[in-house]
Amino acid sequence: MTVEPKSPESVLAPPIAPKGLLREPPPTDRGARRRAALIAAARTVFEREGYLNTRLQDITEEAQCSAGTFYTYFKTKEEIFAALLETVQEEMLHPGVGGQVTDAATAYEVLEASNRAYLKAYRSNGKLMGLLEEVALVDPVFGELRQRRADAFVSRNARNIADLQKRGIADPDLDPDVTARALSAMVSRTAYRYFAASRGRKRVNFDKLVETMTRIWANALQITP
């Protein structure tokens, strides 16, 4: 199973994605600072209150500026959320040591590394990922955006699965598309449950989580480590 070493987590699950509808950055330093403060405030409030419950006033209060100032930088809640995503996307998309997966790795090891990277990234941004889930469900723009991204990664995974099948490594009876979607959904949804929506429930052992995800995935494809 050959995988581009650049972004291994992409084998498994969709990354987040900002919107292109962002205006040019403020010319002055002060403006940049204020904009950043608003975005930080937005993150704080969004994570505390949820996207829907957040009023613009909450954000400006958190950022300690007036209501009007918000509109100097953003037009809508949607727009500041897109800006927030853009701000954090780097940490979300390159969650660690993806590049270190070597060519010599077995398919199983690649899978494990990918899952680990993905879950690690998810864990360290759990609240934000939960937020993203909320927004995607509630705002069609983000919903479609996320959909498209997810689809892209699913089809890449599907190609990989088909490739493994051709080479006799994976169960040939599985439909590659459906399987890819199902396994991606499994990982991302499980991550969501443990890291984003874990309302006061017992925490899971991270290594065990990685191992289980990987083993399920490998078993499902009938890849034996």
Partner DNA sequence: GATGAATGAGATTTCATTCAT
Partner DNA sequence: TATGAATGAAATCTCATTCAT
Query: Which residue of 87, 124, 155, 212 would you call a contact of its own copies, by CB under 8 A?
Result: 212
Cα–Cα dist 63/38, whole Å: 5
Are 95 and 6 contacting, i.e. CB atoms less than 8 angstroms apart? no
- Identify which of residues 6 and 33 has a Cβ nearer to DNA in the complex: 33
Phi-psi region of 200 (alpha: psi -120 to 50; beta: other; left: phi over 0): left
Closest CA to 161 of 139, 134, 181, 132: 181
Q: Does 102 bind DNA (CB under 7 A)?
A: no
Rounded CA-CA distance 136/145 in Å is 8
Report the amino acid identity of residue 67: A
Q: What is the 3-state secondary structure (H, E, C) of 71-125?
A: HHHCCCHHHHHHHHHHHHHHHHHCCCCHHHCCCCCCHHHHHHHHHHHHHHHHHHC
Are 194 and 164 in contact by the 8 Å Cβ rule? The answer is no
Q: Which is nearer to DNA, 65 or 186 (CB)?
A: 65
Question: Rule CB under 7 A: is residue 65 a binding residue for DNA?
Answer: yes
Binding residues among 108-147 for DNA as defined by CB under 7 A: none
Does residue number 66 form part of the binding site for DNA (CB under 7 A)?
yes
The residue with tokens 């088909």 is 162
By the rule CB under 8 A, 19 interacts with its own copies: no
Interaction partner, residue 75 (DNA, its own copies, none; CB < 5-8 Å by kind): DNA
208 near its own copies (CB under 8 A): yes
Nearer to its own copies, 39 or 129 (CB): 129
Q: Is 55 in the site for DNA (CB under 7 A)?
A: yes
Of 22 and 52, the one with the shorter C-beta distance to its own copies is 52
Q: Is 30 a binder of DNA (CB under 7 A)?
A: yes
Paired tokens of 216 = 């399920």
Residues forming contacts to DNA in the complex (CB under 7 A) are: 26-28, 30-31, 33-34, 55-57, 65-72, 75-77
Residues forming contacts to its own copies in the complex (CB under 8 A) are: 52, 133-134, 137-138, 144, 147, 171, 173-175, 178-179, 181-183, 185-187, 189-190, 193, 197, 199, 204, 208-209, 211-213, 215-216, 219-222
